[in-house]
Structure 1
């Protein structure tokens, strides 16, 4: 298994979400979020998910505001669907019943490593995509 060091666990915990850009399957660039996982039954201290809501393909982490993380969930800024940080599953709002696409990472000796054979690291931070798909929120939640 090939591993690529992404960041340290403390940075992910302090920031709440750490964003990087990767290439999935040798094709498209995708933004990926690394989030703390506080579930005692989880295999890792962090998990990684594609940075897109399953409902309307909206970014969960936006460069202008970051990501909203509440009670162990990443919240979609458009409709308020909340995705569990450890499982990626959503049980509320328009995305209920869906799960974020996962990216394999491992936490070891305080470091976070990309271990997904289908994803290659490009750079830290958002993609160079100029696509302005950041609509205003229609959620009942206030951020």
Structure 2
């Protein structure tokens, strides 16, 4: 069980992004979003074209729904279901989290916490010295 963040932080900032090793050994971005009764966690991509919801600036939300930045499909933050746009009829892949005394923990046996932030946060050169003009 990995401690992630607090429920208060997710509600104040709108989302929390972390990277985990998924069930097939690949790195997956996961977003924790506010829900009426606490928080829920979803794989950070639209079911239509794998568009990331959170690209480093937080999840675009509207009236308790995650909004795909590419086509505008809306997914219920609590259930993961979409009933409009290009992704209509699909459901986001969920990641199990638990809340204890206001703290959010990763409890999904298929995911192992890697680091806060997105997959790009630890890849690539550490400086711009690789650029050539």
TM-score interval (norm. to shorter):
0.7 to 0.9
Match of residue 91, structure 2, among 92, 99, 103: 99
Structure 2 residue 45 is the aligned partner of structure 1 residue 52: yes
Match of 1:109 in 2: 101
Match of 1:41 in 2: none
Cα distance in structure 1, aligned partners of 2:87 and 2:24: 28
Cα distance in structure 1, aligned partners of 2:19 and 2:89: 26
Match of 1:35 in 2: 33
Cα distance in structure 2, aligned partners of 1:103 and 1:67: 16
Structure 2 residue 76 is the aligned partner of structure 1 residue 76: no
Residues matched between the structures, number: 123
Root-mean-square deviation over aligned CA pairs: 1.6
Q: Which has the larger radius of gyration?
A: 2
Partner SS state of residue 97, structure 1: coil
Runs of 4+ in 1 over 4 A off after TM superposition: none
Q: What's the TM-score once normalised by structure 1's chain length? A: 0.82
